Amino acid sequence: MPEIVAAADKPPIDGGARGRFFQRFTRQQRQMHAVLFSSFLGLAATGLPMRFSESYWAQKFAAGVGGFGAILFFHKFCAIVLTIAFLIHVKEVFQRGLLHREKGIFWGPTSMVANWKDAKDLFGHMRWFLGLGPKPKFDRYAYWEKFDYWAVFWGMIVIGFSGYAMWFAPFFARFLPGWALNAVLVIHSEEGLLAILFIFSIHFVNTHLRPDSFPMDMVVFTGVESEEEFKHKRPLEYARLQAAGKLESRLGEAPATWLVNFSRVVGFTAILIGLTLLVLTLSAYIRE
Amino acid sequence: MGEAAVYPTGRNKCCTIFRFSFPAVLLTLVLLAVATRALHAQTDCLACHSDATLQDAAGHSVGVDGAKFSSSIHGSLQCNDCHADIKEYPHPDHVAPVVCSKCHADQQAGVAGSVHAKASEHPCTGCHGDAHSIFPKDDPRSAVYPLNVPKTCGACHGNDGLAKRHGLNNVYPVYMDSIHGFALSKEGLLVAANCQSCHGSHNILSHNNPLSTTYKTNVPRTCGTCHAKINDEYQTGVHGHAVAAGKLGAPVCSDCHTAHAILQPTEAAFRMQSTPICGNCHKDKFSTYRDTFHSQLGSLGGYVETARCWDCHGAHGILPASDPNSPVNKANLIKTCGQCHAGANASFVQYQPHANARDRKLNPALYFIRLFMNLLLASVLIFFMIHTILWVIRARYNQIKAKAAEGDKNA
């Protein structure tokens, strides 16, 4: 973000409106995203050659890393990392929502759970695309962000379960019928393909490459966004915090230059890998 | 004489001429003395022909290594046993070609009926090498000693030009890289199959000839000469039965293992290339196999233990699944799958290694799951594709408008 870079060079928070940064993601949430996208890239990079094993690039890639043994090993390794991250997240949600009875986890404007407003926002947004109405005002999580979240959540369960069913097939066969072992491969590969195609095209554009965030939304790496961006992207949350007098409590520090640069390198690498895989997937899919 | 140039001084010249010419002069004198005497002993001929540089009028070498000849298989014969038209000295400039069939009639008949009948090479020496140094086939010096056979045949059959002219493959390098060639050249294994083990020697016939050892229906018996047990198994299997019943579409040994480039079947290289070989005929099974995890991983190489066709079906004595002895018979599946999947149980072996998710009748559950997944994939992607494209256009449009407005303000 040009704004963030420009601001980063200035001394942090001086009370002036332009220089203020607000915390959007906690350190743990950012770490979770980092683990999520790195293990996902690993899974995609090793899963695609298996899915399109007849294609030239898959066989070259496999030969380069040491054959299917290496690919499968790395795929399983990334799967375990992602599973652990997912379990930590689920534990976190239950701890905060059920144990500590934290408000806004399961319901309300700060929750990931979809509500009526999201449906209205979706239609309102589409109308705005076509110039038929005003741009809807979004709260902490917009509908497409919630969709991303639940897509991953659903994907984790579906892909994860089918993956482990293949990994430990004889064990799963104790309580699954035989045909389910055939089904899990179809489910795993189709759902994996959906995740890959969705993340590497839709998520990349919606979150990072769309004009308002181009070329990358740094908030998931630095945790903070400028006041201007906050107001522009999530006017409802800003107004709600302001009305409650809680805006100050969300103030964060301007991100250090190294962090911004480092995040850019990491982020662009991830996007580049993702787009490469997307091109390979589409080429193999079309030829199939 | 050449000596004159080398030894210019008179005294030396005289001595040298004497020294070099003496045996020749003496021999000439002796020969003249006995005039046109009959020739009997090898030594009679070798008197002249031991000179390795000796040539006939056409420039062909007619020198003979006497020592080597006497140790060869024909060493006990007299020269005119073979060169029958030479009875006396001096002999005519042109002598008749040697007729080996005088003794080797069977072999001659074999060659005459073989693919080599019209070869431009001498029918015997072409393979057995120099006529004066032919050794028994178990002598390492022989051109047809097992370890030397591939090189001998390869002199012509390793030659791209000749092979191409006759529409043959250049088989020599292929054979040398095969398991047989490797055993022979690297291990020096005398029993390893060389060219003549399969093709025969004198009466080699085209593989199109039903009498040929390499004619399709004869191949199992030919390979079975060494691989007897495998041949027995093969004869009990579906392929063996089919071939025996005259169904020539069914594979024999060489259809799966190839003829010359035979690889060690347990090694990665063969495991990698083997499944498509079965797939040549079993197209539908190959296609459904390719949809499975076994194939997907199997195609990636490296470490190749995922199941190939014969890991489950057996290799030589393949039986229909209905046969209780077939490894893919329902009763044997737990054992067969269990070779790789420890803990395989009755439910596990209901897995269908050839399931077809595109076939609604055969695999309805799988068909509908795939359909659902595809619809989900298509609907999510199409919806968001439209959504995102419109969004990008609209957002960019607003940005440009905002910038223009800002520009107006500044102006």
Residue ranges of the domains in chain B? Answer: 3-102, 361-411
Listed by start position, the domains of chain A span 2-287
User: pTM of the entire structure?
Assistant: 0.78
CB B352 within 8 A of CB B363: yes
Q: Which two tokens stand for residue B90?
A: 């001096």
Question: How do residues B29-38 score in pLDDT, each as one tens digit?
Answer: 454 444 455 5
Query: What are the C-alpha distances in Å from A149 to residues A144, A234, A288, B68?
Result: 9, 17, 30, 90
pLDDT, position B24: 58
Q: How far apart are CA A10 and CA B356, in angstroms?
A: 63
B contact residues 67-96, partner A, Cβ 8 Å cutoff: none
Question: How do residues B314-364 score in pLDDT, each as one tens digit?
Answer: 999 999 999 999 999 999 999 999 999 998 999 999 999 999 999 999 899
Q: How far apart are CA A162 and CA A172, in angstroms?
A: 10
pLDDT, position B166: 81
pLDDT, position B408: 74
CB A140 within 8 A of CB A121: no
Q: How far apart are CA B122 and CA B128, in angstroms?
A: 10
Stated as kind and residue range, the H or E segment containing B103 is none
Question: Which of the four pLDDT bands, split at 50, 70 and 90, describes residue A212?
Answer: confident
Low-confidence stretches of chain B (pLDDT beneath 50): 1-18, 29, 31-35
Long-range CB contacts for residues A275-281, cutoff 8 Å, separation at least 24: A275/A200, A275/A204, A277/A41, A277/A44, A277/A45, A277/A48, A277/A196, A277/A200, A278/A196, A278/A197, A278/A200, A278/A201, A280/A48, A280/A52, A280/A55, A280/A57, A281/A48, A281/A52, A281/A193, A281/A196, A281/A197, A281/A200
Chosen for mutation from A182, A190, A194, A203 (greatest number of chain B CBs closer than 10 Å) is: A182
Q: How far apart are CA B243 and CA B223, in angstroms?
A: 15
Give Cβ neighbours of residue A156 (< 8 Å, ≥ 6 apart): A82, A83, A86
B contact residues 161-220, partner A, Cβ 8 Å cutoff: none
Chains A and B: how many Cβ contacts under 8 Å? 155
Q: Which of A187, A167, A185, A165 is CA-nearest to residue A176?
A: A165
B347, B352, B381 ranked by CB distance to A182: nearest = B352
CB atoms within 10 A of CB B36: 9
Question: How do residues A107-126 score in pLDDT, each as one tens digit?
Answer: 888 899 999 999 999 999 99
Q: How far apart are CA B172 and CA B178, in angstroms?
A: 10
Stated as kind and residue range, the H or E segment containing B152 is helix B149-157
Q: How far apart are CA B254 and CA B207, in angstroms?
A: 12
Q: Which of A203, A246, A216, A284 is CA-nearest to residue A41?
A: A203
Q: How far apart are CA B239 and CA B252, in angstroms?
A: 7
Amino acid identity, residue A194?
L
Q: Tell me the backbone φ, ψ of residue A123, rounded to 5 degrees.
A: -70, -40
Q: How far apart are CA A236 and CA A239, in angstroms?
A: 5
The answer to whether A176 faces chain B, any CB pair under 8 Å, is yes
Contact A170/B345, CB-based, under 8 Å?
A: yes
CB A167 within 8 A of CB B351: no
Q: Tell me the backbone φ, ψ of residue B355, rounded to 5 degrees.
A: -65, 145
CB B157 within 8 A of CB B168: yes
CB A267 within 8 A of CB A15: no
Q: How far apart are CA B302 and CA B268, in angstroms?
A: 8
Q: Show residues of chain B in contact with A187, CB under 8 Å.
A: 369, 373
Q: Show residues of chain A in contact with B286, CB under 8 Å.
A: none
Q: How far is CA A26 from the centre of its chain?
A: 15
Which value, to the nearest 10 degrees, does the dihedral of the CA atoms of residues A25, A30, A36, A38 take?
A: 140
Q: b or e along B325-364 (b: 16 or more beta carbons within 10 Å of the residue's beta carbon)?
A: ebbbeeebbeebbbeebeebbebbbbbbbbbbbeeeeebe
Chosen for mutation from B287, B300, B385 (greatest number of chain A CBs closer than 10 Å) is: B300
Q: Show residues of chain A in contact with B366, CB under 8 Å.
A: 179, 182-183, 186
Q: How far apart are CA B317 and CA B330, in angstroms?
A: 18
If you average pLDDT over every residue of chain A, what do you get? 89
pLDDT, position A15: 42
Where is average pLDDT lowest: A9-13, A46-50, A244-248, B145-149? A9-13
Q: Provide, for chain B, the percentages of residues in helix, strand and coil under a 3-state DSSP scheme, each rounded to the nearest 5.
A: 55, 0, 45
Instruction: Identify which has the larger pLDDT, B166 or A146.
Output: A146
What average pLDDT does range A75-97 have in this prediction?
A: 95
Residues β-bridged to residue B313: none
Contact A187/B357, CB-based, under 8 Å?
A: no
Q: Which fold has domain A2-287?
A: Fumarate Reductase Cytochrome B subunit (1.20.950)
Tokens 């699954």 belong to A176
The residue count of chain A comes to 288
Contact B395/A211, CB-based, under 8 Å?
A: yes
CB B235 within 8 A of CB B244: yes
Q: Show residues of chain B in contact with A72, CB under 8 Å.
A: 297
Q: How far is CA A287 from the centre of its chain?
A: 29
The answer to whether A206 faces chain B, any CB pair under 8 Å, is yes
What average pLDDT does range A18-40 have in this prediction?
A: 92
Question: How do residues A244-259 score in pLDDT, each as one tens digit?
Answer: 999 999 999 898 999 9
Helix (H, G, I), strand (E, B) or coil at A21: strand
The answer to whether A181 faces chain B, any CB pair under 8 Å, is yes
DSSP class of A255: P
